[in-house]
Amino acid sequence: MGERVRAEVELEQLTQQIRYHEAAYRAGAPEITDAAFDDLVDRYQELAEQLGLDASERLDVQPGQDHTAGFETVEHRVPMLSLEKLSPNRRDSGGEPMPLSDQLSAWFRRRRKELEVDEFPVIVEPKVDGISVSLLYTDGMLRRAVTRGDGRKGDVITKQVERLGTVPIKLKRGGEGEIEIRGELYWPLTEFARFNATLDKPLINPRNGCAGMMKRKDPAGLEETGIRAFFYQVAWDHGVKLPPTQCDTLQWLADRGADVYLSEVFQTASEEDALQYCEDYDARRRTLDYDIDGMVIKLDDLGVYARLGATGHHPHWGIAYKFPPERKPTQLLDIEVSVGKSGKLTPVAILEPVFVSGTTVSRASLHNFVELERKDVRVGDTVLVEKAGEIIPQVVEVDKGKRKRGAKRFVAPDVCPTCGTEAVSEEIFVYCPNPACPDQVRERLRHFASRRAMDIDGMGEVLVDQVVDKLGVRSPDDLFRIEVDALAVLDRMGQKSAERVKTGLEAAKERGLARVLNGLAIRHVGETMAEDLAAYFKTADALLDFAARYVAEDEDAVETVAPAKSSERGAVEGLARKSADSIFHELDAPAVRKVFMGLADVGVTLSVRAADVHEVADVAGKAFVLTGTLPTLKRTEATKRIKAAGGKVSGSISKKTDYVVAGDDPGSKHDKAQSLGVEIIDEAALLALLGEVE
């Protein structure tokens, strides 16, 4: 294989990994640290330059997909770009590690040359680990709150922010004109711990927990979380008189009721002092009641920002210092392969126990076999271990200088290590396709019984393990066949506990088709897709009949959900051709059909619940887009009513949209609807279509 071909193969693998980890991050379940993700992106950029890849074709300039269904998306007037980072993994042109001090000196030199000055003042601010938010104020009143999104477009979370009660709804001391303030929503550690203690399934960490909370479609209860905000930038203004420096702007924001960390800001003209403050803060941060993952060094003179400009990725007026995570060396004793609920095979490092970030680690994630090969991890190696988000142990690097002669690469298995079924590859992952695989069975049953799926009261992970190991349960329908007497003799059970579980099983039978679909752990079918499939097909029989037609390549079936023209939407919102292929082939598999038959035999409801279905002639089959703030209906309630009446709700407008329901501050969707000739209605007209007004 030639050098260029190897580079092209690695670039494609990196593309798949970056997309995967972006999706995991947006879902609130990151598998690698920010630094590790930055390394992937840096290597991608290096290869893209080496191969001469056109900028328009590069992954990093393609539109992001950081959007949650049901949320309106708007374009930022000024892009919310990421800052350039000082990286401990950066190397110079000769391939040698480049110290952070040299990197910072290079940044200072570039700025001095561009500004034609000998020195300039900078300020150093803490980088709180939360989610970025942009707040638009008109005449001092909060008009709109938007997430960072992909940096150019974000989701509107105004109602969620207002409900928090920690963001100023009205700025103090006047506020004529328009102004956009940017900051961070974050979860203080004590508040996070208090709230987490009330949950059956604790959240992973404050940052991901905060992101998930702010994407709750119903904001009720957010004021109880203790999530707070702090602000660090005025992105743009119109008709507002602002101070000329960043430091004075922070004071200006504080005077108007916005929380800032002015006491933590350090001013200097010395690059050495700036770096020293960052390094000293690393020790201080562990005494704070909030997580920070680094510091930000900015020019203090706001007047030069426009002059310095930006690349397509980051502005030139600032640079980020990321705190190095605690890394400990240890020996890799073995590599095991675990099997997940979807059959995904994942390499896991078995380590000589080592104490990292507060706990002893003996197992660590290796993520996938592509990453394993990229890092060239071998059994017997001395490896460096850290925790992603200081939570999830992972192997980040190999000390190849200590590698023993003859150490062999670990090869992805050809067969499932649990059941021996021939493994299959899909993009960067390897899967066991056997749904009867014992490890898959265990993981799927845990998921099926979980709160987000069938919500079987009393059926936790420990009990699932027991009914699999001791009662021979292999399929979801087997759960409903378990008798009270059999449950009662299991460890830590008893008659009352067994009766409670049986009652929970009986109640779960009425959850409806959407919950069943979500519970079956079908690849690409999460909560939203399960709801949309159930809403469209109504019954499992109709869904399975369609799946058979789709797999047989019936043209009408394929065109119904995955139109040949990319500009057209299918009947099921959000279902693209690739995911449709996977979903319907799995639904048509004999093993999955057998599960549906078993569930029907034990009386599980396999249709949309009658209480959720009230088709209305003027709404059924029509596509709606909601935008702006409705007078009385919450967005989630309006969506629920439309779907219950047989309609569809989308997050974006196309020529196939039938109605745009517009409220106050409708944003760009209103204009797009007008340009496409889509009918725009208000809440009253929507209620009339639903038959809810006389």
Task: Say yes or no: 370 and 474 in one domain.
Answer: no
Res. 150: pLDDT tops 80: no
Does the residue 540 lie in any domain? Answer: yes
Read off the pLDDT of residues 303-352 as tens digits, 9 standing for 90 and up: 999 899 887 678 999 999 988 777 889 999 999 999 988 888 999 999 99
Q: Give me the numbers of helices (H) and strands (E) for the chain, helices first please.
A: 24, 22
**Closest to 33 measured CA to CA, from 316, 296, 365:** 365
* Region 180-186 average pLDDT: 95
Whether the pLDDT of residue 574 is over 90: the answer is: no
Q: For residue 171, give the nearest of 257, 254, 233, 238 by alpha carbon.
A: 257
Contact indicator for 8, 51 with CB cutoff of 8 Å:
yes
Nearest to 252 by CA among 173, 319, 169: 173
Is the pLDDT at 494 greater than 60, yes or no?
A: yes
Are 30 and 119 within one domain?
Answer: no
* 397 lies in the same domain as 415: yes
Residue 618 covered by a domain: no
Same domain, 632 and 534: no
pLDDT of 64 reads 38
Could you confirm whether 127 is annotated as catalytic?
A: yes
For residue range 425-435, list pLDDT tens digits in order.
Answer: 877 789 998 87
Q: Which run of H or E residues covers position 322?
A: strand 318-322
Q: Is residue 8, in this structure, part of any structural domain at all?
A: yes
Q: Tell me: the pLDDT tens digits for 525-541? A: 887 788 889 988 999 99
Is there a domain that residue 83 lies in? Answer: no
The DSSP string of 366-432 is ---HHHHHHHT-BTT-EEEEEEETTTEEEEEEE-GGGPPTTPPBPPPPSB-TTT-PBPEEETTEEE-
Confidence class for position 18, pLDDT limits 50, 70, 90: confident
**Last residue in a domain, options 412, 431, 450:** 431
CATH for 20: 1.10.287
Same-domain check for residues 315 and 368:
no
Overall pTM > 0.75: no
Same domain, 245 and 109: yes
Looking at the fold, whether 534 and 638 belong to one and the same domain comes out as: no
Length of the chain: 694
Looking at residue 63, what is its pLDDT?
Answer: 35
> Number of folded domains in the chain?
6
Tokens of 355: 């104490």
Residue 317 domain-assigned? Answer: yes
180 versus 582: the higher-pLDDT residue is: 180
Tell whether 192 and 208 lie within a shared domain: yes
261, 174: one domain: yes
**190 and 280 both lie in a single domain:** yes
Q: Which of 127, 159, 643, 669 is catalytic?
A: 127
> What percent of the chain is modeled with pLDDT above 90?
40
DSSP 610: G
Q: Which of 431, 460, 493 is the last residue of a domain?
A: 431
- Give per-residue pLDDT as tens, 94-133: 667 788 899 999 999 999 999 999 999 999 999 998 899 9
Domain containing 266 equals 100-322
Who contacts 469 (Cβ-Cβ below 8 Å, separation ≥6)?
none
Per the domain annotation, does 77 fall within a domain?
Answer: no
Task: Give me the pLDDT at residue 62, please.
Answer: 38
In percent, the amount of the chain with pLDDT more than 70 equals 89
Q: Domain holding 494: CATH number?
A: 1.10.150.20
Is residue 120 in some structural domain?
yes
Q: Are residues 662 and 643 part of one domain?
A: yes
Tell me: pLDDT of 71 over 70. Answer: yes
Question: Which CATH number fits the domain that encloses residue 639?
Answer: 3.40.50.10190
Q: Which of 191, 138, 148 is nearest to 169 (CA)?
A: 138
Distance, in Å, from the CA atom of 74 to the CA atom of 208, rounded to the nearest integer, reads 22
Residue with tokens 């190991």: 469
Q: Are residues 238 and 296 in the same domain?
A: yes
Q: Are 66 and 150 in contact (CB under 8 A)?
A: yes
In a domain, 694, yes or no: no
> What was the pLDDT predicted at 360?
85
Residue after which a domain boundary falls, among 382, 413, 431: 431
